[in-house]
Amino acid sequence: MRQIVLDTETTGLNPRTGDRIIEIGCVELLNRRLTGNNFHRYINPEHDSEEGALAVHGLTTAFLSDKPKFAEIFEELREYICGAQVIIHNAPFDLSFLDAEYKRLGKGPFSADIAGVIDTLVRAKEMYLGRRNSLNALCDRYGISNAHRALHGALLDSELLAEVYLAMTRGQNSFSIDHGGNHNDSDSESAALELLPLAEILVRTARAEELAEHELVLNGLDKDAKGNCIWRHSPVEPAKN
């Protein structure tokens, strides 16, 4: 499956009052693997950023003045995202701006070009009810370093979100084994597995560096649990009759 993790930066919070997209960053995942086939463009919005927005992204009008307008990158963006499932944190915000840009060009909506949207903010709220679920909070929760995120940037935020999404959905990988062949064969359902003798069980002890990494994971779980996580507790001895 082809997935695109997408983020935008904008001149403000409301496309209905004329705010525009000034940066788009996309990261490609193919079968849950980062491919390096990213898409990143700065855009001249022909519109000054609000003071609050400028403090967040730091992209000044002067910096953006020689960048292409959205109409000039539209076809390239459309070709890149076409048919993919798109992953966004707080999707209604980015989609409202993308739809507004499409509408200016007589196109759209954005959703017509893609296979669907996953909103990681919605998923995070379902998983961590009542807790902070900003991108920074999720990075902390999953042990993803965002120390280099002094300002918001569309490509950087997409890269961080891709790591967060993979961590959030780590348990969704399929463990089924496909042995190939035609599953409609008449003998496939009735075929018995050959029983083989058990091989010798080998026990491998963890190396010092593996134990250290395990301790870091437990420390992270302790932090989330605000105390000792369940893996710190000693097993309960069964009661004797």
Pick the catalytic residue: 57, 148, 152, 233? 152
CA distances from 68 to 41, 102, 106 (A): 8, 16, 19
Backbone CA torsion sign across 189, 190, 191, 197: positive
Q: For residues 141 and 137, give the distance between their C-alpha atoms in angstroms, rounded to a whole number.
A: 6
Contacts for 228 with CB less than 8 Å, ≥ 6 apart: 222
The answer to whether the CB of 11 falls within 8 A of the CB of 29 is no
CA distances from 159 to 1, 58, 106, 222 (A): 18, 19, 31, 26
Pick from 166, 191, 170: which is nearest to 179 by CA?
191
Helix (H, G, I), strand (E, B) or coil at 99: helix
214 is catalytic: no
The pair of three-digit structure tokens given for residue 66, joined into one six-digit string: 């020689």
Catalytic residues: 152
